[in-house]
Amino acid sequence: MELFLAPHSLPFAIAAVMLIALTVIEMACLLIGFSLGEVVDKAWPDDMAGLMSWLNVGGVPVLILLMIILGIFAMTGFVLQAVASAIWTPLPALIAIPTALAGSVPTIRVASRWVARLVPRDESYAVDLADLVGRTAEVTVGPLDQALPGRVRLKDRYGNWHVLRAKAAAEEAPIAIGAKVLLVDRNSDIFIAIPVPSDLDVPQTS
């Protein structure tokens, strides 16, 4: 506890508190049927995806990756300061922070790969993503519009569930959560959706 409260350990204590807070908030949200992780994934800037993909080897959701980063950074920092204190004196924060960050990166990459085995991915590659165009899905994070992608859920022809990023087609009104949509196209990994026409016979989500 003395190490946790020491001034030279403050950055790592803050990271640990943030990790605990995110964990508690996500658990509380799940109890009421709401996922903070899905909201974070939707709001995450697309132009940061490339940077995060190098660190996020396992492809885990952004919120989980942030929790991994906070946890490993905090643990690395506390160990670093404990060793420095035992050998000589605690490191100043300006030295300890970048040192802990540098030491955390390899562990974060390994941890994201390991956690990805336990956490379902956004999409399964058992089928080609192109095969999912023309199927119906249910909006789970939205509403879908032409701005940031939302999320839709559907089953493929083998009965496997997929959670995919999607936007409403151009000039479509926002599509509410829970609505059934038809996936009519895709742009890279983002699917284009329209409301399911009432007279159209298409493969169902379940």
Q: Is 173 exposed, middle or buried (0-12, 13-18, 19+ CB in 10 A)?
A: exposed
What's the predicted TM-score (pTM) here? 0.55
Q: Give dist(CA 145, CA 38) in Å, integer.
A: 16
Residue 71 clears pLDDT 60, i.e. is over it: yes
Residue that wins the pLDDT comparison between 44 and 111 = 111
Residue 193 has what pLDDT? 93
Contact 41, 95 (CB under 8 A): no
Structural domains in the chain, CATH included, are 2-116 (no CATH), 129-195 (2.40.50.140)
Report how far Cα 72 is from the mean position of its chain's Cα atoms.
Answer: 17
- Split at pLDDT 50, 70, 90, the class of 124 is very low
Summary mean pLDDT of the chain:
80
Q: Give dist(CA 75, CA 186) in Å, integer.
A: 41
Helical segments of the chain, H only: 2-5, 10-31, 36-43, 49-55, 62-87, 93-116
In the numeric block, which tokens belong to residue 33?
């049927």
Contact 68, 111 (CB under 8 A): yes
Residue 123 has what pLDDT? 47
pLDDT tens by residue, 139-162: 988 889 888 888 898 887 777 778
Residue 104 has what pLDDT? 92
